[in-house]
């Protein structure tokens, strides 16, 4: 089994969760990405979030949320993605940048629009009454 290791930033506001769609994609994904050599989780996540959304995460407010795993979207069967999720405050105004074409706020009813691992996170958040 191949495992893709990714980081994600989970931002919930008024029971809705921030999601993004990259150019040329139909599925939505939580913002984040892969670590570069030598980067800590915060360094990688902060870099990715700044590149994708033009905001800066505040390190002191960042909290580990959980690790989730599922079949990787758009990959052959057996390729799994492991998503290490964090929450945290930020400075700046969220705006699509880099490869991000669209930024949306989803409720649980939008679950089918996101990748398989994000669907697991949607369920987990709904069980904890954090998502409408």
CATH of the domain at 21: 3.90.79.10
What whole-number distance in Å separates Cα of residue 62 and Cα of residue 106?
22
User: What local confidence, expressed as pLDDT, does residue 108 receive?
Assistant: 98
Residue 110 lies in a domain: yes
User: What local confidence, expressed as pLDDT, does residue 76 receive?
Assistant: 86
* CA of residue 1 relative to chain centroid, distance: 22
> What token pair was written down for 28?
């939505």
Nearest C-alpha neighbor of 83 from the set 105, 39, 116, 111: 116
What whole-number distance in Å separates Cα of residue 124 and Cα of residue 131?
9
Number of domains composing the chain: 1
User: What local confidence, expressed as pLDDT, does residue 11 receive?
Assistant: 98
User: What local confidence, expressed as pLDDT, does residue 36 receive?
Assistant: 94
Residue 132 lies in a domain: no
Nearest C-alpha neighbor of 50 from the set 92, 104, 105: 92
Domain coverage including residue 94: 2-127
DSSP for 29-45, please give it: B-SEEPPPTT--HHHHH
Residue count of the chain: 132
Residue 76 lies in a domain: yes
User: What local confidence, expressed as pLDDT, does residue 79 receive?
Assistant: 92
Residue 23 lies in a domain: yes
Q: Are 99 and 52 in contact (CB under 8 A)?
A: yes
Residue 46 lies in a domain: yes
Question: With a cut of 50, which residues of the chain have pLDDT below it?
Answer: none
Compute the C-alpha angle 105/108/113, nearest 5°.
70
């Amino acid at each position: 089994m191949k495992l893709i290791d990714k980081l994600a930033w989970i931002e919930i506001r008024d029971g809705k969760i921030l999601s993004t769609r990259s150019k040329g994609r139909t599925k939505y994904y939580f913002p984040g990405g892969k670590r570069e050599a030598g980067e800590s989780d915060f360094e990688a996540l902060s870099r990715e979030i700044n590149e994708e959304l033009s905001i800066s995460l505040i390190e002191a407010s960042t909290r580990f949320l959980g690790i989730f795993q599922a079949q990787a979207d758009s990959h052959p069967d057996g390729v799994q993605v492991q998503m290490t999720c964090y929450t945290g405050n930020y400075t700046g105004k969220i705006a699509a940048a880099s490869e991000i074409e669209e930024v949306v706020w989803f409720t649980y009813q939008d679950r089918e629009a996101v990748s398989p691992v994000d669907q697991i996170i949607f369920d987990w958040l709904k069980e904890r009454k954090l998502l409408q």
